Chain A
């Protein structure tokens, strides 16, 4: 358990998450190990199923990076993402899985620092929560 590095899937949209991740890289900010970035054109492209499947396939946590309300280039993609997240949260509660494992984080194009800090915070949080209890561990 001492060497538990939580596996985090970060969905990053083209308007906010992805450029911020780029910026974090350019600034050589420290990101936690074991983070996998999944690029999407908009947070609204993320189906509820992707969030849940990420956990089913072994992730310990998921962050959905989206644009601030009113800033979505596709108008309401971020609102759709929020709705899908709340559906997934309800399912997780019912099966006894911690809601905190999946969260949504709002940022802008140049939020490199916020992205890095959020991932760092998530990693610490997941270390406290422990590994995903719903997968086989070797």
Chain B
């Protein structure tokens, strides 16, 4: 899912400084899973912010809400009653959630309280790692299910660079070399032949992230 991390407190305090009454809105989906903006985090941050502002003699009233998904029209619009009562919204949802609120509540400032970082997998409780960069044309079939775009620091498509050593990437000791992983995986599947053919250059500018604002339209679903 989308992974995010709470912004530094100084940044948050600075952003909400002008306001006396805000809505702190979390999200029940991705940011709950990575413990950045779910109901618990909303409660904790609200409590901390109230105390921080009381300490400097500038009390702040905070309403709390955690819609199931902040990026969907119905759930976002459900917040309207609360939003009417406040001067600004501090959102712990990912960048998508923030912008969805902006669309439905154009007259109120919506501030991000987390940094959206990557699309990732939960390795274990409390540990998340990047797995996908939404490149638009998935080649996982050719690479044994291991993505070289997100897991190779140089997005190589035809094998490891000269810096791959003992299965590790040269730029981050903790990172596995994606191409070593691909090699091992295809080897265990008996599919090493898939690595003999050259994978041609990716069409970044046409079917990927450099093609401009991307959109999917399903005519059959438009009611």
Contacts and interface: CB of A to CB of B under 8 A. Distances in A.
**A and B found bound together:** yes
A135 B8 CA distance: 23
Interface in A95-137: 95-97, 133-136
Contact of A48 (B8, B9, B10, B40): B40
Given A96-B55, A97-B55, A56 B50 contact: yes
Contacts of A136: 54
Interface in A20-73: 47-49, 52-53, 55-56
A133 B8 CA distance: 22
Contacts of A52: 44, 47-48, 51
B28 interface: no
Interface of B: 8-10, 40, 43-45, 47-52, 54-55
A94 B9 contact: yes
A134 B52 contact: yes
Contacts of A97: 51-52, 55
21 contacts: A48-B40, A49-B40, A49-B43, A52-B44, A53-B43, A55-B47, A55-B51, A56-B50, A88-B44, A91-B45, A91-B48, A95-B9, A95-B48, A95-B51, A95-B55, A96-B55, A97-B55, A133-B55, A134-B52, A134-B55, A136-B54
Contacts of B47: 49, 52-53, 55-56
Contacts of A56: 47, 50-51
A47 B38 CA distance: 14
Contacts of A55: 47, 51
Nearest to B48: A91
Nearest to B40: A49
A56 B40 CA distance: 16
Contacts of A88: 44
A94 B48 CA distance: 9
Contacts of A94: 8-10, 48, 52
A134 B51 CA distance: 5
Contacts of A47: 40
B44 A48 contact: yes
